[in-house]
Amino acid sequence: MEKERKLQIIKAAVKRFDKHGVNKTTLNEIARDLRIGKATIYGYFKSKEDLFFSVLDYEGSQFLEEVKIIFAKEEIPLQERFLEYFKSKENISQKYKLVADSFVQTLDDKGLENEFSFIKKLFNDEEEIIKSVLTKLGNKNVDSLLPNFIVLKSWGLSLSLKLQTLCNPQKNIELKDILLKSIENLLA
C-alpha cells in the first residue's frame, strides 16, 4: 500500500510537471489532484525537489525498461532493433518530457547537481544495455567506446531533431538512417 501510494504521487507529479513545469507546480495542486492532504506527500517526500528527482528516477527507469524491451526482441534483426531504439529517442521529449528537459538543462549548465548525477547514471545504464546487446552478438571484447558512441549519438539525434523541427519544420531529415549507417560501418 505504501509503495502504491508513493507511485500514485509520482504519477500525479509527472502529469503536473509535464503540463505546467516544475517551478509552476505546487505540492498543493498535486495533493488536490489525488484528493489527499499535502502532509501525505511530505510523508513520502521531503520537498518538491525530492519529489521531482523521484519523478526523474521513475521516468528514467521507464525509459531504460523500454530500451531493454526493444533489444530483447531477438527474433527481430539487430538493425531493426537499433532503428526502433533510435525512433524511441526521436519521441523522447513527448514520452519522457522531464528526462529530456533535464538533459537540455544539463547541457545548458542550468541543471542542478542532482540532475547532472541523474543524467550521468542514465547514460551509464543505457551504455550497459547497449554493451550487453553487443556482447550477446558474440563480441566478448566490446570496446566501451562503441556503446558510448551509440548512446551519445542517439541522444544527439534526439536533440538535433528537436532543433530541426524548431528551425525548419518543412525539411524532413532522417538522421536515424545516417546514424544507423555509421554504426553498421563500425560493426562491420
More confident residue, 165 or 144: 144
Whole-angstrom distance, CA of residue 20 vs CA of residue 23: 8
pLDDT score recorded for residue 187: 62
Q: Are 88 and 180 contained in the same domain? A: yes
15 and 61 share a domain?
Answer: no
What is the chain's mean pLDDT, rounded?
A: 85
pLDDT of the residue at 88: 87
Q: Take residue 25 and report the three cell numbers written for it.
A: 507546480
Question: Are 116 and 183 in the same domain?
Answer: yes
Are 54 and 14 in contact by the 8 Å Cβ rule? The answer is: no
The residue segments making up the domain with residue 65 are: 53-187
Of the listed ranges 117-121, 137-141, 174-178, 181-185, the one predicted with least confidence: 174-178
Count CB-CB contacts under 10 A for residue 8: 14
Does 23 share its domain with 72?
no
Least confident residue range of 112-121, 131-140, 142-151, 165-174? 165-174
Domains contained in the chain, number: 2
9 & 37 share domain: yes
Do the Cβ atoms of 100 and 163 come closer than 8 Å? no
62 and 4 inside one domain: no
Residue 173 has pLDDT above 60, yes or no: no
Same domain, 93 and 171: yes
Return the pLDDT at 107. 73
| 92 and 41 within one domain | no
User: Is residue 18 domain-shared with residue 88, that is, in the same domain?
Assistant: no
Q: What is the pLDDT of residue 38?
A: 95
CA distance 188 to 183: 9
The three grid cell numbers given for residue 105, joined into one nine-digit string: 538543462
CATH number at 32 reads 1.10.10.60
Residue range 122-144: mean pLDDT, rounded: 83
Nearest to 93 by CA among 59, 68, 65, 127: 59
Helix 145-167 × helix 97-107 angle, to 10°? 100
Q: 124 and 34 share a domain? A: no
Confidence of residue 177 (pLDDT cuts 50, 70, 90): low
138: alpha, beta or left? (left if phi > 0; alpha if psi -120 to 50): left
